[in-house]
């Protein structure tokens, strides 16, 4: 018992030392550590904005791949995406260093490249909007593909891959 | 006499002229025929070459555009097409893809069709060296001779680029080609993909595309300890996908696979790279779509979808450690 409690108390001491070290390391990075909690609603908002884009992409895909007879709908979804695209830059302006995001640090390391990716994305959405409202139905598929490519290009550069995604980690931690 | 001679001469002239005309005619006819035959042959050769290259382009797209052989991640738009040098991380170390352009020194320029067929089917270089199985000859061995020859014709039609191949960065013994004799003995049987008479043509086409050309199993099937495909988990996803990425479970399991995807969902995905929820595709998969599958005829994409929906659904939730 004594021996066991000795081990336990020594473990507690060691744990305290490690915890103190970790905490002081955390303090060294200062206000940032403090701001994680505060910034979580911002991270959540960004994810919701992205889900809105994904929802519009998915809705357009539903129409096109199943050839649903809904004239004008693709153009509206494309327009929505172009509008939302303008919110992405401001929403990501603040660098929130937390694991609870799939945003890569490269966003803030190369902000100009990130902004360029967003403007390419917006332009592709506007192009799809115009094409979908135009008279050549065969041009809509390629315009959609071009828009999808801007999603992928930006995600490749600035979103963590699935194997690093915080969502996957959270699922694994549940086990 | 004169007139007679003249006549004779005339007739002689006429006869000579006639002969000459006949001779000329027959000569011109012959040269015309020879010319036509030559033209027909030349046209035939060009037309044949064209169809060979055209057919080869389709095989090329069915492989995913041989994307591993272009260093898109490292060099982006400046990456020389099919000139290799792309690092491929595997559990056995880093391997660099090779130059498959028609450059005679650093690429496949000096190769015969037979060399190419042997490399793809047996994993052997023209000099008889084993290739590391990061090159998926395990799948390509199922490609038909004609498809292989056509693919080579298409590769030969692209610009030759000089770029020397890089040796692997894998540790011993995985960097040692002699090890591969044992590896092949354990894990490699050249596959023959037979038509299944109980299935329709679309399914058979899909089976051929998925198993051989598109080599889906190489990434989407988990591997055994020795690096062979675990056939009991066929297409059930792998956490050790290419370049250290996750490769999704693409069996028709409802919760952990793509069981809820419809055929239009699958066709659309292979055309656009957009998932049913509107999300985009990352990594090597987005490349094989962009440089390969998206260019396939709709009928091939539908065949792939038909096959994928027919295989056993395997429950396998992918998790990272």
User: What secondary structure does DSSP assign to B43-88, as a single string?
Assistant: HHHHHHHHHHHHHHHHHHHHTTTTGGGS-HHHHGGGSPTT----EE
Residue B318 phi, psi (nearest 5): -80, 130
Spatial contact of B70 and B80, defined as CB atoms under 8 Å apart: yes
Partner B contacted by A174 (CB < 8 A) = no
Interface of A with B in 73-112 (CB under 8 A): none
Angle at B144 between CA B143 and CA B148, to 5 degrees: 75
In this prediction, residues A149-164 reach a mean pLDDT of: 92
On chain B, the residues whose CB falls within 8 A of the CB of A53 are: 278
Cα distance between residue A106 and residue A111, in whole Å: 8
Q: Where are the domains of chain A?
A: 3-164
Per-residue pLDDT tens digits for B275-311? 999 999 988 999 999 999 999 999 999 999 999 999 9
Q: Which residues of B155-194 are buried (b: 16+ CB within 10 A; e: fewer)?
A: bbebebbebeebebebeeebbeeeebeebbeebbeeeebe
Are B280 and A66 a contacting pair at CB < 8 A? no
Instruction: Report phi then psi at B110, rounded to 5.
Output: -90, 5
Determine contact: B295 vs chain A, CB below 8 A. Answer: no
User: Is A55 in the B-facing interface, judged by CB distances under 8 Å?
Assistant: yes
Do the chains contact at B278 and A53, CB–CB below 8 Å?
yes
Q: Does B311 touch chain A if contact means CB atoms closer than 8 Å? A: no
Look at the domain A3-164 and name its fold: 1.20.120
Chosen for mutation from A50, A124, A162, A169 (greatest number of chain B CBs closer than 10 Å) is A162
State the pTM of this model. Answer: 0.80
The closest CB to that of A163, out of B246, B268, B276, belongs to: B246
Rounded CA separation B275/B49 (Å):
38
- In the stretch 128-157 of chain A, residues with CB closer than 8 A to chain B read 141, 144-145, 148-149, 151-152, 155-156
Task: Give the lowest-confidence range in A16-25, A135-144, B191-200, B234-243.
Answer: A16-25
pLDDT at B270: 97
Averaged pLDDT for residues B58-66: 97
pLDDT digit string, tens, across residues A59-118: 999 999 999 999 999 999 999 999 999 999 999 999 987 888 999 999 999 999 999 999
Among A131, A122, A127, which residue's Cα sits nearest to residue A151? A122
**Which of B237, B244, B274, B305 is the mutation pick for testing A, counting most A CBs within 10 A?**
B274
Residue-wise pLDDT tens digits, A105-138: 999 999 999 999 999 999 999 999 999 999 999 9
Determine the pLDDT at residue B91: 81
């Amino acid at each position: 018992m004594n021996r066991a409690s000795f081990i336990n108390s020594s473990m507690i001491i060691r744990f305290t030392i490690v915890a103190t070290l970790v905490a002081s390391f955390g303090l060294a990075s200062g206000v940032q550590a403090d701001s994680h909690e505060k910034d979580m609603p911002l991270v959540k908002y960004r994810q919701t904005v992205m889900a809105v884009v994904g929802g519009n992409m998915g809705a357009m895909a539903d129409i096109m791949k199943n050839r649903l007879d809904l004239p004008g709908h693709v153009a509206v979804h494309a327009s929505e995406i172009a509008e939302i695209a303008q919110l992405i830059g401001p929403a990501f302006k603040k660098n929130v260093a937390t694991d609870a995001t799939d945003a890569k640090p490269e966003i803030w390391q190369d902000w100009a490249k990130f902004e360029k990716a967003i403007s390419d994305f917006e332009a592709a959405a506007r192009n799809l909007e115009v094409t979908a409202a135009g008279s050549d139905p065969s041009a809509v598929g390629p315009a959609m593909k071009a828009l999808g490519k801007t999603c992928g290009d930006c995600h490749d550069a600035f979103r963590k891959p699935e194997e690093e995604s915080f969502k996957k980690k959270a699922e694994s931690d549940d086990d | 006499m004169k007139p007679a001679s003249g006549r004779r001469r005339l007739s002689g002239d006429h006869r000579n002229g006639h002969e000459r005309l006949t001779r000329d005619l027959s000569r011109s006819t012959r040269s015309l025929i020879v010319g036509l035959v030559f033209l027909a042959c030349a046209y035939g050769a060009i037309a044949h070459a064209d169809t060979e290259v055209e057919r080869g382009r389709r095989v090329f797209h069915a492989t995913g555009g041989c994307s591993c052989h272009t260093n898109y991640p490292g060099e982006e738009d400046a990456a020389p097409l099919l000139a290799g040098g792309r690092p491929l991380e595997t559990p056995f170390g880093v391997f660099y893809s090779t130059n498959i352009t028609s450059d005679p020194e650093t690429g496949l320029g000096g190769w015969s069709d037979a060399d190419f067929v042997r490399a793809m089917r047996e994993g052997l270089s023209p000099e008889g060296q084993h290739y590391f199985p990061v090159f998926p000859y395990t799948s390509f061995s199922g490609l038909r001779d004609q498809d292989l020859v056509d693919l080579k014709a298409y590769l030969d039609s692209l610009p030759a680029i000089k770029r020397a191949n890089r040796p692997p960065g894998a540790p011993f013994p995985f960097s040692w080609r002699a090890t591969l004799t044992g590896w092949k003995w354990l894990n490699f049987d050249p596959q023959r993909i037979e038509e299944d008479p109980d299935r329709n043509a679309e399914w058979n086409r899909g089976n051929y595309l998925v198993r051989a050309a598109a080599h889906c199993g190489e990434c989407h099937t988990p591997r055994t300890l020795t690096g062979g495909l675990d056939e009991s988990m066929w297409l059930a996803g792998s956490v050790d996908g290419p370049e250290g990425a996750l490769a999704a479970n693409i069996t028709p399991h409802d919760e952990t696979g793509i069981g809820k995807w419809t055929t239009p969902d699958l066709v659309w995905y292979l055309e656009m790279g957009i998932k049913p929820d509107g999300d985009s595709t990352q990594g090597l998969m987005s490349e094989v779509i962009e440089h390969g599958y998206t260019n396939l005829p709709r009928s091939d994409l539908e065949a792939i979808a038909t096959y994928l929906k027919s295989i056993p659904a395997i429950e396998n939730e992918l998790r990272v450690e």
